Chains A and B, each alone.
Chain A
Amino acid sequence: MTEISVQRKIIEILRILSESGVPVGARRIGDLLSERGYNIGERAVRYHLSLLDERGFTKKHGYLGRTITDLGRKELEEALVTDRLNFVMTGVESMIYQTSFDLEQGDGDVVVNLSVIDKDRSDDALRLLGEVASSGLASPYIKLVDEGEMICTEVVAEGKSVIATFCSITVDGVLLKAGIPAELKFGGLVRLKDREFEGFVEYIGYKGTTINPIKIFLSKQMTDVSGAMKADGDGLILANFREIPEIAEEKVRKVLTELKDIGIAEWIYEQGGLVLYAGVNGIAYLEEKGIKTDTRPNAALMPFSEMVEV
């Protein structure tokens, strides 16, 4: 078994290659490693890369550099489980940090969830997402991209469509830009009764899991968005809770009031923090109606101007 410190560097190299998409040379990898706190020389980088090539995790493309292989991606998904317990949170944190949505201009980058669906279900999907948006349980802003087109650095596969939905994590980014520290704690299932928030039924903390909490609840099909959308509004929907210093409450309320225009219509101020309904509730509704999706919550950033009202 490889020593843990060596394995960390190897995994970090795989992370760098998986985030790149194009071949990366050893020198550039060395620079990126150093940005991430791994100060190893180019010689050591080349040594680690040859180990990775040997195991079939990376592939050399002459002078262009290396790319990650499918086997390498699999290794990245499975290795160093303790590090990955943190990656769910660090991934979300970096999205929050990169949010550049500006309230006054009404534009900038927002966080989106990406869902792959079968192309022939895209009309049904749009209709159903419209229903959820008009019920006020999810933001109406989405982007639908068909096969062969690009979305957030990815090409949509043949026979598929990708739907980007507005992710509520964007709000944490807007709060941060307003100087309000919001610490995302957990994602879970909340009960609505007569359309009123009744509290969390189940939750999973962002810091104690290798799988995104919202993805778990989605894939276990535990929601009842359909119920929540009915006139009496009894159901189970997805939401996130973040802790916010009490002293900031007034300012938070002001920001949220301004965000109403982009579809963050409902929020609950709990003692100690804020509950926001997740942007993927529309996608959960698609699943309830029999449309299979492969969904990655808070997957990417997208200019808000690219999104349209469903």
Chain B
Amino acid sequence: MSKMMRRAPPPAISKIRDAIYDVTFDPKRMDGKVIANISYVDSNDLDSVIDIYRRLHRSGLSIGPYIKIVDENTGGKVGILTICSITIDGVLLKSAVPSNPIGGGVLYVESVRGVRFTDFLKYESTTMDPLETLAGMGLTSIMKVVETGSGRILANVREVPMIAKDDVEALLGDMVDAGFSGVIEVGEPNTDIFDIPTGRDHFGIVIAGGINPLVAADEMGIAVENHAMRQIVEISEMERISDV
């Protein structure tokens, strides 16, 4: 496509591949760089947003307990960095597990278990991040999931060769030990994952988008401006949500 269309940016997948390459985070040593989203909120809303973040974290709908607050005195707006779920693809790559991000969408959840994607955008087809695009279109009901266990959240999908399954499970275990959460499903090889097909001899992994807590804040009527995959940040610069 880029050969044909000179005056168009590359699709999101290019940006994602670059970002994955930049990840140096090591869950066992708890250091290195992660990919972060940035969301801007009014500084008066910061306490409410952090409270919502904590509630989502307890429900396992955040990517982890780490955030970073920036620019505390510019125009009344505060930036909140959240870890982007693509970080996990970076951790896999650093352990020589190839992960191919497919896309992101709105995932219908029932009794805190994923059921099916109801809307979806592929990374290879769009210049805009799918989750950033779908956020704020009135398609999610994240707070309903927190309150009742059922509703719609944002999540993304990647596929991994089935031969790497044991390694993936071990690495995801390391991530859980490091306090990470948000892995909604590790699929079976040659099987659709929540209605999204994976390649031959691959299995899918579905992870909740890091911006879910901010999109939940938007659902509660708080003005939020989300930008997915905006920065690379050292995990040591981030704070635990319990200490904020």
Which residues of A approach B to under 8 Å, CB–CB? Answer: 4, 77-82, 84-85, 185-186, 188, 197-205, 207-211, 216, 219-220, 241, 243, 270-273
Contacts and interface: CB of A to CB of B under 8 A. Distances in A.
B7 interface: yes
B9 A216 contact: no
Nearest to A80: B195
B120 A81 contact: yes
Given A81-B195, A220-B133, A270-B7, A202 B128 contact: yes
Contact of B127 (A79, A202, A210, A271): A202
Contacts of A210: 105, 118-121
B5 A81 contact: no
Contact of A208 (B3, B122, B194, B195): B122
A203 B126 contact: yes
Contact of A82 (B121, B124, B196): B196
A185 to B, nearest CB: 7
A79 B116 contact: yes
A200 B7 contact: yes
Given A204-B125, A208-B125, 18 more contacts: A77-B118, A79-B195, A80-B195, A81-B116, A81-B117, A81-B195, A82-B192, A85-B120, A200-B5, A200-B127, A201-B9, A203-B127, A204-B126, A208-B126, A211-B121, A220-B137, A272-B3, A272-B4
B9 A209 contact: no
Contacts of A241: 5, 8
B136 interface: yes
A273 B4 contact: yes
B153 to A, nearest CB: 14
A205 B4 CA distance: 14
A63 to B, nearest CB: 35
B5 A272 contact: yes
A207 B125 contact: yes
Contacts of B180: none
Contacts of B11: 205
A271 B6 CA distance: 7
Given A199-B7, A220-B133, A272-B5, A205 B126 contact: yes
A211 B105 CA distance: 11
B120 to A, nearest CB: 5
Contact of A243 (B4, B121, B137, B192): B4
B105 to A, nearest CB: 7
Nearest to B130: A209
B125 to A, nearest CB: 2
Contacts of B105: 81, 210
B94 to A, nearest CB: 28
Interface string B195-211: 11100000000000000
Given A199-B7, A202-B128, A211 B119 contact: yes
Nearest to A79: B116
B108 interface: yes
Contacts of A78: 108, 116, 118
Among B118, B128, B137, chain A packs the most CB atoms within 10 A around the CB of: B128
B185 to A, nearest CB: 14
Contacts of B125: 186, 204-205, 207-209
B103 interface: yes
B8 A200 contact: yes
Interface in B1-17: 1, 3-9, 11
27 contacts: A78-B108, A78-B118, A81-B105, A82-B195, A85-B122, A185-B1, A198-B7, A199-B8, A201-B9, A202-B126, A202-B128, A204-B126, A204-B127, A205-B122, A205-B126, A208-B103, A208-B124, A208-B125, A209-B125, A210-B118, A210-B121, A211-B119, A243-B4, A270-B7, A272-B4, A273-B4, A273-B5
Contacts of A80: 195
A259 to B, nearest CB: 22
A270 B5 contact: yes
A23 to B, nearest CB: 28
B181 to A, nearest CB: 24
- Minimum-distance CB pairs A-B, first 9: A208-B125, A199-B7, A272-B4, A205-B125, A208-B122, A200-B8, A78-B118, A81-B117, A204-B126
A204 B128 contact: yes
A209 B120 contact: yes
A174 B119 CA distance: 32
Contacts of B5: 200, 241, 270-273
